[in-house]
Amino acid sequence: MVNDFQHNPFWDYSLSLYGKPGVADACIYLQDRYGLDVNLLLFCVWIGASGRGLLDAGDIDTCMQRSGDWRARVVEPLRAIRRACREEPLGVPEFLLQAFRPRMREIELDAEHVEQLVLAEAVRTRPAEPVADDVRANDTRLNLAAYLNAAGMQRDERADDCLRVLLSAAFPGSEFGELD
């Protein structure tokens, strides 16, 4: 598929991170169980991992506002359509659904791409700084915590396990015990 989206390092990073073992499952669990935005999760990781530092509550709020309507009115309905075509008996022959599903996935992915470009624009003036891995890992952990706090999420052990998957994928070989 060819698209006309501008190149963006956040999108490239997200595709790479999301493709690592366990990351997609962890993100989808956090999305489905707690209503978190996978793109904002990936954004929090990218900001910290790329050396762009910490996101404060105001940054998170701005990002949630900028992407919120798009997510609610475009991304989530597209996801619901895609899932309905996979999970529900719709009275449509399977061969037709098989032809339709890949196009639906592409459209949903394009909508996610748009959201990521909007998020990346929010920090376009924030340069990546050369900082040590442990500083970047800690910034990433704190960015995720700030997002979860802004989303009003009550963390539990399974959620923390998912966050550890994200952190470990971003920082292989690092240990992430307690997340607070």
CB 141 within 8 A of CB 174: no
Residue 130 structural domain: 26-170
Q: What is residue 1's predicted lDDT score, i.e. its pLDDT?
A: 46
- Decide if 68 is inside a domain: yes
Q: What percent of the chain has pLDDT over 90?
A: 53
Helices (H), 35-127: 38-49, 57-70, 76-87, 94-122
**What does residue 76 show for φ and ψ, rounded to 5 degrees?**
-65, -45
110 domain-assigned: yes
Q: Which tokens go with 15?
A: 């595709």
DSSP 66-92: HHHHHIIIIIHHHHHHHHHHHHS--SS
Whether residue 34 lies inside any domain: the answer is: yes
pTM passes above 0.95: no
13, pLDDT greater than 80: yes
Q: Is residue 95, in this structure, part of any structural domain at all?
A: yes
33 within some domain: yes
Total count of domains within the chain: 1
Q: Are 13 and 50 in contact (CB under 8 A)?
A: yes
User: Is residue 13 in some structural domain?
Assistant: no
Per-residue pLDDT of 75-105, as tens digits, reads 899 988 888 887 766 788 888 888 888 898 8
Structure tokens, 142: 């704190």
Quote the CA–CA distance of 100 and 104 in Å, as a whole number. 6
- Is 8 among the domain residues? no
pLDDT at 101: 85
Nearest residue to 166 via CA among 2, 40, 11: 40
The DSSP secondary-structure symbol of 6 reads: P
5 part of a folded domain: no
* Percentage of the chain lying above the pLDDT 70 cut: 95
